[in-house]
Amino acid sequence: MKTEPELAASDRIVDPSLTVPGVTATISGMILDPPRPKLWLLGFAIGFLLVLALLAAVSWLFIRGIGIWGLNVPIAWGFAIVNFVWWIGIGHAGTFISAILFLLHQSWRTSINRFTEAMTLFAVACAGLYPLLHLGRPAYFYWLLPYPDTMGLWPQFRSPLVWDVFAVSTYACVSLLFWYVGLLPDLATMRDKAPSLLGRRMYGVLALGWRGDGRHWSHYEKLYVILAGLATPLVVSVHSIVGLDFAVAILPGWHSTIFPPYFVGGAIFSGFAMVLTLVIPLRAMYGLKGLITARHLELMAMVLLATGSVVAYGYFSEFFTAWWSGDEFEKFVNANRALGPYAPAFWTMLACNVLVPQLFWSRRLRRSVPVLFVGALLVNVGMWLERFVIVVTSLHRDYLPSSWGMYIPTFWDWTTFAGTLGLFLSLIFLFVRLLPAIAMSEVRSLVFRKGKVS
Amino acid sequence: MPSLTPHSPANEFPDGASLWPEDLDRREFIKVMGASLALAGLGSCGRASKALVPYVVQPGEIVPGKPLYYATAIPVEGYGRGILVEAHEGRPTKIEGNPRHPESLGATDAITQASILDLYDPDRSQAPLARGHAASWSAFEGEWLERRQVLLGVDGRGFTVLTEPTTSPTQRREIHRLLDRFPRARWYQHTPLARYDSDGVQWDCDPGAADVIVAIESDFLHRHPAGLRYARAFARRRRVENGGIRANRLYALEAGWSLTGAMADHRLPVSPAGLRRVLDAVSGALDGNATDRDSDLTPDERHFAGLMATDLRLHAPRVLCIAGAEQPVEIQRWAHAVNHRLGGAAALERAGGAIRSDSDPRSAGGLGELAGAIDRGEVSTLAMLGSNPVYTGAADLDFGRRLAAVEYSVHLGTHRDETAAHCRWHLPESHYLEAWSDLRGFDGTAGIQQPLIEPLYGSRSHSEIVRLLADGVAVSDYDLVRETWAPRADGADFEEQWGRWLNQGWVDGPAGGAGRERGTGFQPVLSPNPGRMPVPRWQTGAPARPSPTLLFRPDPVLADGRGANNGWLQELPRPFTALVWGNALQVAPEFAAERKLANGDEVRLEGEGRSLVVPVWIVRGQAADCAVLHLGGGRSRGGSLGTGRGANAYAIRPQGSPWEIAAISCVKTGGSVELVSTQHHFTMEGRNLARSLNLRELPRQARDPGPAGSLYPAWPREGHAWGMSIDLSTCLGCSACVVACQAENNTPVVGKEQVARGREMHWIRVDRYFIGEGMDTRVLSQPVPCMHCENAPCELVCPVGATVHSSEGLNEMVYNRCVGTRYCSNNCPYKVRRFNFFDFRAPAESTVHLQENPNVTVRVRGVMEKCTYCVQRIDAGRIAAEKDDRPLRDGEIRTACQQACPVEAIVFGDLADPQSAVSRRKREALDYALLGELNTRPRTTYLAKVINPA
């Protein structure tokens, strides 16, 4: 084993003062004896109120029809698809951190992987609502599934929307499995620690009889690697297929071969931004600075810088291709994005997604928590705007000027969006309250190994 | 005639019958229920007062599911136009032109198409109203009998009848009869629209016979009682066939845009004052002294006048000048004089006087004269039949106030309109599809107007009421019309001739009058005859700094406002603005820039002591110092759809000069309203979408090669291959196709708010693009239905296979399978797909459902829809051919848009048959596919527009 060089305190991914029992106590303490319960309650209440707003918006949608949104012809896709792509993108960080970084032996992932996996699941849940809600006749959503019906009707497999159904549902299943398998040892810890009978029973059932046996660990680690291997291609496939939803169309601004890789880059970019947005308040609230260290934040900022560059390249490539192709429609769409009625969205997007990550060339700024937090928030906004720009500005002025139109989101568009933000927030708050937000078993092993090294 | 009155739920219970009294307690309830039970039992003891006949043995001609067609006639500004009406089980559903009627030639316009909806208008007047309260016919009849006795005693002094001018022999006969019965009664006529005779002459023309046509503020191709005939003849000279064309040249002088102006090869936007200067210069040039007043003209005007004068001289006598019917007499005289002088072979002068009753010697005048008579106290009893003078009367007449001074007023109308509200009695008038009458076409052809259905409500027809007023007894209009025609029958067998007239839709033989045999009634102006009619000259000075002129024009679809409660018409985009559900003051960009106006900004118009606040809409290619306002907006009692839509132009319209106010002040108020338009961009952004080319380039025109071949083998074709060709050279942009499609395919009306959100549902639309600058500004109209692409982008992306390709090349929409992802619409480069964002169907109990075509599915919320190439018509044709065991004939299947088109711009047929009309058209070099470079391989292609400037 290679000897690791001595790291400066700020470069460590685990606080050297941590002990194995200390790790368990800190993390299980978040649930058993939560600090600042009022703050938690406040956050959860905000999220839950927004969930109620979502319920109202969806009910009204089902009663009145899709016309309550600002959609029209030509802009037949609006907030629903923008938000779908945005949420799916956010859902990418979890699997990327859990699977790819695991396979690459990036041990710094251990203290954030559980949390980001949960975030992934919740983001995918939010995303998954939209394709159903945006149907004109949502009751028939299952016609997109290949099931044997008496009329011999199947989905139309050439349509990327069908691929989407498979990609997103597979991703959701594998992510859930991966997350749950990873939770097993910790659920057992919680079972053992829980003071109440109810807690012991619930964690006990969920722990599936985990006893920390050697054979358990052996099977567990094999399964975990296999699942990581399965999840890795999904990181690439899901957002590639979401990219194909657009790229398969002949619409200028959508019909672009760069979309699949550019969407994957953008997804990881937005996912890491969301992780930062959530982790920074979390570590402050629960005093986890020893577990999620400045080094973690710095590493995530570097991922932002790298994936941000991929996104910037995507933008550049779109413009270059439009100019190089000489296609008047492509050229127009790009000019219209920069100069047309939605130009503010475009320029804000460029500032958030291209300029903001450039800050992270500086080591000092990478380590500044306020800068990181604001930067991550801006990237979230920028990536949402990117999807808005792709969906709306391409549609609103396409081939025939006679059919050009404008998209103005309605109250219900905004309410639905805010509602899914609330749903996401509520689920996150429930998660940190009920399940270990940091993988205890993995951190314990890390602390143990670090302890041996030093 | 089928006489099945459809179930009309609106009539079933009197208003309020279903309301539960608030003070009803439990005991009362039990009592009522007990009584109801007992009486319900008793009811079965009685006998139905009328015999009910079950539909066991069906009438011979009625086969369920098989439509029947009846010939009848629709009044168009009083003139008759022959139509065929489709009826399903006794329920009229669709109007087509009568190919054998000279004023239809098989075509229709948008207003005719939409008139079927008026029949089922839920806001129609359904019962007589006495001072606004529901009353019965017998109450009116009883009251009138007394009144009539009094009037008879004074020879009818004070008895006044106001009608619209009509061509109906029966209506005229009945009014003359009434005037005979009441010798001192007076008959006035009122229409807010133009009259078509001047100097005692009704002019007609054959635009097909002219090489050069000059249209002076004339929309003779569109807004004219003979517009369909003119447009057909004009289009004959604009169509490229086998690469050849014998093109005429059209000059248009007009302040605002008309569809005729949009067809012109040279169009001069010019104010009324400028118009006189230009005509004067042309007169001078025709006299040979070209320079005498040229200095007064702007360079554009001089150039235009020079071209026009040269062309007129060069092509005499095959020239034609037409002045708009709204123009003052001196302009009309100028046009007629030029026709005389140059021997206009295409102009026809009617020998027997005017066909419409405007100049009937027994008529006492118009609304102005009636107002004078009221002021002098000469009117005690006023019957207003089929006219709405309170709304359409000029502002200075203030007719509503004058009407209040009339002791006894009766109004007959289809709606409880503005006039109805001011009258002692309002009587419901039958729709023209419910009444017997007769009408003459603009060329004099007589036709019997036969009803398709018994009156839905207790309404009566115009001639029935005149007879009732005259005699005090009700006689059916059927008998009245036969009374007119029986003596006119040729020989003894009236019944045989009557049957034939009804069957064919026009009256033949000597009884039919002048019209049918062309040239019998109208004399062409053949020999040059300068002495007979001198060309008028004007002493006009150089243009002064002009204050703007306000021009009034009939609304292109609502006419004088009578179409206001018709949803199809309100939602039909107006030409050049695409505005729906309301009008606006149309101004040139220079006009707007000078006053810093944007679309929707309100201005206060002030002229002749009256003012009106109206929003503006900017239109390129209009005379800079003129503003155009359409009549027909701002109705105060226009029905649930028609009330308060747009601005009421009548509020500032002067009686003395009904078509223009020469000097008006136009001041921005600072307010602004949302005007709703279906098209927001009127330029092509440099894209080659609606194509046009100069006639001189035609021989060199190479066929658009389209995209190169595919790597994949062609899809095997079997059987028919449906396709369509749309000729932009002849398309007027009149939108008859749009309404015809709406009527055929049960397309819903979505309302102003939904159109504002971009959710209109038309399956075919007319795109308009402005090209060129200044005097070369042109408008290209391009009808866009579904292209039925062979490589349809919509089919590829539908996840459930709800839009699929048929073996005959139709791009089909399976409503049942659609889940509403709307991806197909996003991927359609033509944006012809329409989505049901809400449930756009009329309420279940609405009478408008009676209009629906039973062969077309009514779509539910959340599904996509679009043009089907009228697949129900294709199937009907196929079934008919199979039953006869014969192949389908070319032209047997016609789409609704094609059938309505006045200029035969749309041709549909089988591309697999190389001899079909559509295949022949597609072989023209001008044929091109819209956005063909996308390799969608559309089955609908266009023929580029050929223009023929000098």
Question: Hunting for tokens 């028919």 — which residue is that?
Answer: B720
Cβ-nearest to B862 among A137, A161, A398: A137
User: What pLDDT, on a 0 to 100 scale, did the predictor assign at position B388?
Assistant: 94
Quick count: other Cβ atoms within 10 Å of Cβ A343?
A: 14
Average pLDDT, chain B: 89
| Residues B820-860: tens digit of each pLDDT | 999 999 999 999 999 999 999 999 899 999 999 999 999 99
Q: Do B758 and A75 touch (CB under 8 A)?
A: yes
Contacts of B767 in chain A (CB under 8 A): 400, 402-403
Q: For the sheet containing B610-618, what is the strand order? A: B660-661, B549-553, B626-630, B585-587, B610-618, B601-607, B665-672
Span A33-52, average pLDDT: 93
Nearest to B862 among A74, A136, A153 (CB): A136
Across the interface, do A405 and B680 touch by the CB < 8 Å criterion?
A: yes
Q: Residue B793: list chain A partners with CB under 8 A.
A: 249-250
Facing A143 at nearest CB: one of B819, B825, B838: B819
Residue-wise pLDDT tens digits, B438-483 = 999 998 889 999 999 999 998 999 999 999 999 999 999 999 999 9
Region A242-252 average pLDDT? 94
For chain A, give the percent of residues with pLDDT over 70.
97
Q: Report how far residue B815's alpha carbon sits from residue B833's, in angstroms, rounded to the nearest whole number.
A: 13
Lowest mean per-residue pLDDT among B180-194, B708-722, B885-899: B708-722
Residue B23's pLDDT is 67
Categorize the per-residue pLDDT at B774 as very low, low, confident or very high, splitting at 50, 70 and 90.
confident
Do A402 and B765 make contact, defined as CB atoms within 8 angstroms? Answer: yes
- Alpha carbon distance B916, B110 (integer Å): 28
The pLDDT of residue B38 is above 70: no
Contact between A443 and A436 under an 8 Å Cβ cutoff? The reply is no
- Give B202's pLDDT tier (boundaries 50, 70, 90): confident
Q: What is the per-residue pLDDT for B181?
A: 94
Are B68 and B59 within 8 A, CB to CB? no
Q: In what order do the strands lie in the sheet with B940-943?
A: B906-910, B722-727, B940-943, B927-928
Give backbone dihedrals phi and psi of B770, rounded to 5 degrees, phi first: -90, 130
User: Closest-CA residue in chain A for B934?
Assistant: A250
Question: Other CB atoms closer than 10 Å to residue B224's CB: what's the count?
Answer: 24
The range of the structural domain enclosing residue A77 comes to: 11-453
Residues in chain A with CB shorter than 8 Å from the CB of B817 are 143, 153
B798 contacts in A (CB within 8 Å)?
A: 156, 159
DSSP-derived 3-state class of residue B36: helix
Lowest mean pLDDT among A420-429, B105-114, B440-449: B440-449
Q: What class, spelled out in words, does domain B549-677 have in CATH?
A: mainly beta
What is the mean pLDDT of the segment spanning B145-169? 94
In this prediction, residue B236 carries a pLDDT of 94
**What's the number of domains chain A is made of?**
1
Q: Quick one: pLDDT band at residue B47, thresholds 50, 70, 90?
A: very low
Given this model, what pLDDT does residue A2 score? 45
Asked if B830's CB is within 8 angstroms of A400's CB, the reply is yes
Would you call B829 and A165 a contact, using CB atoms and an 8 Å cutoff? no
**Partner-chain residue, chosen from B689, B826, B833, that has the shortest CB–CB distance to A400:** B689
Radius of gyration of chain A (CA): 23
For residues B270 and B277, what is the distance between their CA atoms, to the nearest angstrom? 10
Best to test chain A binding among B831, B865, B866 (most A CBs inside 10 Å) = B831
* A249: closest chain B residue by CA: B827
> A108 falls in which pLDDT band (50, 70, 90)?
confident
A3 belongs to a structural domain: no
Residues written for chain A: 454
B495-505, pLDDT tens digit by residue?
A: 888 998 999 98
Helices (H), B505-638: 567-570, 589-594
Q: What is the pTM of this model?
A: 0.90
Question: What gap in Å lies between CA B207 and CA B251, rounded to an integer?
Answer: 13
Residue B827 and residue A249: Cβ atoms within 8 Å?
yes
pLDDT, tens digit, 9 for 90 and up, residues A190-232: 999 999 999 999 999 999 999 989 999 999 999 999 999 988 8
ipTM: 0.93
> Nearest chain B Cα to A392, which residue?
B826
CB count, 10 Å around CB of B289?
A: 11
User: What pLDDT does residue B543 have?
Assistant: 56
3-state DSSP call for residue B452?
coil
Tens digits of residue pLDDT in A267-320: 999 999 999 999 999 989 888 888 888 888 999 999 999 999 999 999 999 999
Per-residue confidence (pLDDT) for residue B4, from 0 to 100: 43
Instruction: Provide mean pLDDT across the span A144-173.
Output: 93
pLDDT of B293 higher than 80: no
Question: What is the rounded CA–CA span in Å between residue B371 and residue B369?
Answer: 5
Q: Do domains B129-195+357-444+451-491 and B197-350 have the same CATH topology?
A: no
* Backbone region of residue B561 per phi and psi (left: phi > 0; alpha: psi in -120 to 50; beta: other values): left
Q: Positive or negative, the Cα torsion across B87, B91, B93, B98?
A: positive
Hey, what are A378's tokens?
């801006």
Alpha helices, DSSP H, located in B96-226: 110-119, 137-153, 169-181
A180 close contact with B: CB closer than 8 A: no
A299 and A135 Cβ atoms separated by less than 8 Å: no
pLDDT higher for B802 or B701? B802
User: Is there a domain that residue A165 lies in?
Assistant: yes
**Rounded average pLDDT over B357-380:** 93
B207-263 pLDDT per residue, tens: 999 999 999 999 999 999 999 999 999 999 999 999 889 999 999 999 999 999 999
pLDDT value of residue B851: 94
Q: Is B23 exposed, middle or buried (0-12, 13-18, 19+ CB in 10 A)?
A: exposed
CB contact at 8 A, B103 and B226 = yes
**Nearest-by-Cβ selection for A135 from B798, B820, B829:** B820
- Residue B791: CB atoms within 10 A of its CB come to 17
What average pLDDT does range B96-125 have in this prediction? 94
What proportion of chain B, given as a percentage, has pLDDT over 70?
A: 90
- Tell me the chain B residues in contact with residue A159 when contact means C-beta distances shorter than 8 Å: 796-799, 823
- Which one is the CATH code of B724-747+786-947: 3.40.50.300, 3.20.20.80, 3.30.70.20, 3.40.50.150? 3.30.70.20
pLDDT tens digit sequence for B600-631: 999 999 988 899 999 999 999 999 999 999 99
What is the distance in angstroms between the Cα of B738 and the nearest Cα belonging to chain A? 16
Least confident range of B284-298, B307-321, B814-828, B909-923: B284-298
Interface of A with B in 295-314 (CB under 8 A): none
Q: Which of A403, A406, A408 to mutate to test the interface with B (most CBs of B within 10 A)?
A: A403
Mean pLDDT, chain A, whole residue set:
91
Helix spans in B549-619 (H): 567-570, 589-594
Q: Which of B34-38, B278-282, B390-394 has the largest mean confidence? A: B390-394
Q: Would you list the domain boundaries of chain B?
A: 129-195+357-444+451-491, 197-350, 549-677, 724-747+786-947
Q: Do A251 and B759 touch (CB under 8 A)?
A: no
Q: How far is A165 from chain B (nearest CA, A)?
A: 10
The least confident of A285-294, B62-71, B533-542, B806-815 is: B533-542
pLDDT in tens, A357-394: 999 999 999 999 999 999 999 999 999 999 999 999 99
B66 pLDDT band, cuts 50/70/90, is: confident
Give the separation between CA B267 and CA B216, rounded to whole angstroms. Answer: 10
- Phi/psi-derived region of residue A312, left when phi > 0, alpha when psi is between -120 and 50, beta in every other case: alpha
The pLDDT tens digits of the residues spanning A365-375 come to 999 999 999 99
A405 at interface of B, judged by CB pairs closer than 8 A: yes
Smallest Cβ distance to A73: which of B759, B827, B838?
A: B759
Pull the structure tokens for residue A192.
């053992």
Give the closest of B683, B821, B864 to A401, CB-based.
Answer: B683
A71 close to B (CB below 8 A): yes
| CB-based contact B820 A136, cutoff 8 Å | yes
Residue pointed to by tokens 């003051």: B585
Q: Does domain B129-195+357-444+451-491 have CATH number 3.40.50.740?
A: yes
A2 is a domain residue: no
The reported pLDDT for the residue numbered B881 is: 95
Q: What single string gives the DSSP state of each residue in B291-322?
A: TTTGGGS-HHHHHHHHHHHHHHHHHTTSEEEE
Subunit contact A328:B765, Cβ cutoff 8 A: no
**Nearest CB to A159; choose among B682, B796, B818:** B796
Q: Are B631 and B561 in contact (CB under 8 A)?
A: yes
pLDDT the model gives residue B524: 59
Query: H/E/C letters for each residue in B668-737?
Result: EEEEECCCEECCCCCCCCCCCCCCEEEHHHHHHCCCCCCCCCCCCCCCCCCCCCEEEEEECCCCCCCCHH
A185 within domain boundaries: yes
We find that the CATH architecture of domain B197-350 is 3-Layer(aba) Sandwich (3.40)
The percent of residues in chain A predicted with pLDDT above 90, rounded, is: 75
- Taking the C-alpha atoms of residue A93 and residue B181, their distance in angstroms, rounded to an integer, is 95
* Shortest Cα–Cα distance, A121 to chain B (Å): 25
pLDDT, residue B568, reads 97
Closest by alpha carbon to A285, among A14, A15, A38?
Answer: A38
- The one-letter amino acid at A239: H
Residue A4, in any domain of the structure: no
- Nearest CB among B768, B801, B837 relative to A66 is that of B837
Give the helix ranges, DSSP H, for B125-226.
137-153, 169-181
pLDDT band at B547 (very low <50, low <70, confident <90, very high): confident
Question: What is the structure's pLDDT at B53?
Answer: 58
- Tell me the nearest-neighbour CA distance from B161 into chain A, angstroms: 49
Phi, psi of B439 (to 5 degrees): -145, 155
